[in-house]
Structure 1
Amino acid sequence: MTTADRFAGLYLLDRFRLEYGATSVDVCAGGQRLLAYLGLRRHATRAVLAGTLWPDVTEERAHGSLRTTLWRLHRERPPIVRSGGDTLSLEDTVHVDARALGESALRVVRSPGSVGGESALDLLFGGDLLPGWYEEWVLFERERLRQLRLHALDSVAEHLATQGQHALALEAALESVRMEPLRESAHRAVVSVHLAEHNIAEAVRHYKAFRTLLLAELGVEPSGQFFAMMRHAMT
């Protein structure tokens, strides 16, 4: 095995995938859950892992399943799970795409100008976290990552618009709309970009479409702030 093959990539966006170098490897169901949990939570005790991943069996059997899963993961492969006393974590050589996406989103929210336009969009246009997985810890992490991405996209759209990068700003705003169609801040960002480019007709069309959607789904009007933005633009 080459040096490159000793570095693993754990991919949790769109679907589960584990790669050593350029080689994708099969992982048993228990191993997938174990790696995903450690990839998202960074570390956990054996007791927490056993109880979380095997909740419907006795404690003794859950710990036995954990030991078997660890043995299967390390069989004929470089170890990617590190043991520190009673605590397990992933080795530092393991890249986790969902973790990288969350860290990038946090950086953008804290300092939108610190990340370049196209690179920011590449980092933020990730897929859904482990679609088809419905464990409570997955649902929590999926929503946490979704909210981070939404706030980061809002920040990116606003920053790029002020820099005159209207096409990229619109991409960020529309991605936020796609993720959450009823999120007004995303729609305001779309309209702001259209107004910055003096595309009044596009801004009005988008505002009216959002107003229709909001009335149909929630029975409420857009905020006074959004209405005032449109009224000011058309006067």
Structure 2
Amino acid sequence: MVDSPLKLHSPDLVLIGTKAWQVKEVARSLKEIIAENTLVIPLQNGVMAAQELTEELSMHHVMGGLCNIFSKIKEPGVIEHMSAEPHIIFGELDHRISQRASHISEVFQQAGIKHRLSSYIQGDTWKKFLLICLGGLGALTRANYGVLCETTELKEMMRQMLDEMYQVALAEGVELPEEIKDKTLKTTMSFAPSANSSMARDIWAGRPSELSYQNGSVVALAQKHGIKVPINYFIYHTLLPQEREARRQ
């Protein structure tokens, strides 16, 4: 075990499990240690991690990835899982089922790591993105998922958020079925009523959060394509002062 990536030497595979805003820094560190065939898979929330890695590393070294997990730190050394069974989804950015990706899948299988090798990792990443960004409404209203789903007005706002994000995904060239919106809302309604998002918990505790990589990314990408996303815009900009204060501290 090491406390710095710089202490590693020519790793075969690097899984990045940091917060989304730390990926750029990690990528710069990895430039010092990767070998010719090192593969790097980000598991961050949001849709920017793979792109940020390729800004520092060669496309050859980067795959897309995500981790479907719903958990929190109950106490030091104890992780409490809620609602979803943790598993990794990963795949080549050009959608190939490559030999190296299949080999990683075999390694995960042998290690007992639940996973799925994706033939369209961008679509899988956006499916999770739609889901997690709904947590921004919980962060703003200081409400758990049970309240969001039981309150008619808030549930309608989530529907509108999903409409906004779906249009942004299409503008980004991501192929998603329209029924993903209803499916995502249904998934949210299956969460334990007391559950809440990691971003919400960070914001409520006054810690730096992934706001800019969740609702903030929706706003930024929407602006790029000239799309109106009023609900996500309101959530992002209303929470932004708290985020800036948390980072100053």
TM-score, normalised to structure 1, is 0.33
Greater C-alpha Rg: 1
Which structure shows the higher helix fraction? 1
